[in-house]
Amino acid sequence: MIDFLRSYHDNKTQFEDTVLNEDLFDNVQITLDTKTGEREYPITCSRGGFSILIDKYRAYINCVPKMILFNFLKLKLLSNKNLSLSNFKTGIDCINGVIDHNYTKLSGVNIGFTIPTSTAGKDIIKMNVLMHNYKHCNHDLVVNKKKYTKEFVYHNYKIMLSADKNGRNKNLLKIVLKLNKSAGFRKFGINNINDLTQKKKLTDLFNLFMKRFDELIIVDTLQYFEGKDYKELESYLSYTYRSTLSSTKSSQTKSRHKKKFEALINKYNLGSLKAKLKQELNKSFRENITLLKHKYHGKHQNIIKK
């Protein structure tokens, strides 16, 4: 559910000393001035699921809970499985074993879900996901040879959909909301990583995720039928028409076309795919927020510092 976290450390000097003087991180990269012997920035380092960057002013910490669980506890979590709250709490224990989050503040949070689909996820992204809030995607790209991705980027958040191109996981779809400004989640009382173990705050975050999902324009594959409605729908669904409407028409014209488009979608039941995806997202959240006992629990500082 929470698959990426970004934070900064309040006491940069203290954290820098910890990174350089304690055997907690691998691949510590630091440059010294040959004349003065003073440290030069940035300082970077990593350790299974963590990446650290320290500049002149702050210490930035990125962490991936799934990777942390796998590397520190050898708990094998497949990429197509969502992280349950109990496993996430275990990951938080691991993180707190390395970084004292009483002294950190979250600056970015990604919440996402991988859900099953009846057809190939990449085809849904390419053919059925048209817009977000009636805006075209900023990126329609291949991240690598195995993944297909579509992104809708705004100044303070990003909606990303991705899917495997082929293989056994092709009938899966991952949807991620990336909050890259703290204002997007601090209104829910989420300030540090430990806040993300509270059900109420996670529920508030999920509700924001679903609000952004509801803004996606996802339309069923259009089947041919006789009449004027088909031609209108075909026109609305064409990229050229939507681009022209977005860039040239007045707000009143846009509003009128949106209402007509939505009426046609409802009339011909072309929102069933979106409804199924929404059902799977709600199901996944309910399952993953349920507290399940796991053989790993409690504090893990000793495991981490070995």
Beta bridge partners of 161: 150, 175
> Is pLDDT above 80 for 265?
yes
CB atoms within 10 A of CB 288: 21
Instruction: Please state the separation of Cα 249 from the chain's center in Å.
Output: 33
Q: What pLDDT, on a 0 to 100 scale, did the predictor assign at position 142?
A: 56
> Is pLDDT above 60 for 295?
no
Of 107-116, 220-229, 247-256, the range with the highest mean pLDDT is 107-116
Between 242 and 192, residue with greater pLDDT: 192
> Is pLDDT above 90 for 27?
no
What is the arithmetic mean of pLDDT over 73-90? 66
Q: What pLDDT, on a 0 to 100 scale, did the predictor assign at position 298?
A: 42
Q: What pLDDT, on a 0 to 100 scale, did the predictor assign at position 237?
A: 84
Q: What are the pLDDT digits (tens) for 164-177?
A: 888 778 899 999 99
pLDDT band at 268 (very low <50, low <70, confident <90, very high): very high
> Is pLDDT above 70 for 297?
no
Extended strands (E) in the chain: 2-9, 26-32, 39-47, 50-54, 59-63, 104-116, 129-132, 139-144, 147-153, 157-164, 172-179, 216-218
Between CA 161 and CA 171 the distance in angstroms is 13
Q: What is the pTM of this model?
A: 0.85
Q: What pLDDT, on a 0 to 100 scale, did the predictor assign at position 129?
A: 94
Q: Which residues contact 151 (CB under 8 A, 6 or more apart)?
A: 137, 138, 139, 140, 141, 158, 159, 160, 161
Of 58-62, 83-87, 100-104, the range with the highest mean pLDDT is 58-62
Q: Which of 99-103, 157-161, 197-201, 296-300 has the lowest mean pLDDT?
A: 296-300
Percent of the chain with pLDDT over 70: 87
Q: What pLDDT, on a 0 to 100 scale, did the predictor assign at position 7?
A: 92
Between 296 and 208, residue with greater pLDDT: 208
242: tokens are 């939507």
> Is pLDDT above 80 for 106?
yes
Q: What pLDDT, on a 0 to 100 scale, did the predictor assign at position 140?
A: 59
**β-strands 59-63, 26-32 pairing:** unpaired
pLDDT band at 244 (very low <50, low <70, confident <90, very high): confident
Distances (CA, A) of 89 to 24, 130, 189, 243, 291: 21, 36, 18, 45, 10
Q: What are the pLDDT digits (tens) for 32-77?
A: 878 888 888 999 998 888 899 999 899 999 988 878 777 766 665 5
What is the arithmetic mean of pLDDT over 180-185? 94
Q: What pLDDT, on a 0 to 100 scale, did the predictor assign at position 74?
A: 64
Q: Decide: residue 150, CB within 10 A, 0-12 exposed, 13-18 middle, 19+ buried.
A: buried
The answer to whether 274 touches 213, Cβ cutoff 8 Å, is no
Between CA 304 and CA 199 the distance in angstroms is 26
What's the mean per-residue pLDDT of the chain? 84
> Is pLDDT above 50 for 292?
no
> Is pLDDT above 80 for 301?
no
Q: What are the pLDDT digits (tens) for 183-218?
A: 999 999 999 988 988 889 999 999 999 999 999 999
Between 136 and 73, residue with greater pLDDT: 136
